[in-house]
Amino acid sequence: MAAVLTLALAIGANVSVFAVVQRVVLNPLPYPDSDRLIELDHGAQRLNLPSGMGMTRGFYYQYSERARTLDGLALYDTENLTLTGEGDPERIRVTRVTTTFAPVMHVWPTLGRWFREEEGRLGAPSLGRAFARAVDPPIRR
């Protein structure tokens, strides 16, 4: 019985280590220089703010102005919304990002161009590839 338990613990430990190596080393995030990306999170137990809340716009602006060790900084927020208009309502995934998102992540729109700094305001959308192809008629180059 002890041999079976020891073997089970050893296999479990090896599987756990392999899962981490597989995800981080062998299968990294699909972005250039993904090993240089970090996620900043501001949780505060004293203020009853759990970790996982991300960063507020206020912290973003403070970091943007004061951080000297970061090459770039970007914020994003993703949610599902309902698109209405002509035809049936449809659920779509919407991601709000800062104008610095594309340069930080090294990703660019398939069509058109990314936001200029002065366009970083409400009401200035950028469409993802799936959405641009799904509208009728499809948006093309």
Distance CA 34, CA 118 (A): 27
When mean pLDDT is compared across 31-35, 81-85, 137-141, the lowest value belongs to 137-141
- Which 3 state secondary structure label does DSSP give 91? strand
Q: What is the pLDDT of residues 1-52, one digit of tens each?
A: 777 778 777 787 777 776 766 666 666 677 777 778 877 777 777 777 777 6
Among 59, 23, 20, smallest CA distance to 40 is for: 59
Average pLDDT for residues 118-140, to the nearest whole number?
Answer: 64
pLDDT for res 25? 63
Distance CA 130, CA 19 (A): 31
Distance CA 105, CA 74 (A): 9
Mean pLDDT, all residues of the chain: 77
Tell me which long-range contacts 56-65 makes (C-beta under 8 A, separation of at least 24): 60/98, 64/100
- What's the pTM value of the predicted model, to 2 decimals? 0.58
Q: Are strands 76-83 and 90-97 parallel, antiparallel or unpaired?
A: antiparallel
pLDDT for res 15? 74
Residue 93 has pLDDT above 70, yes or no: yes
Contact 138, 110 (CB under 8 A): no
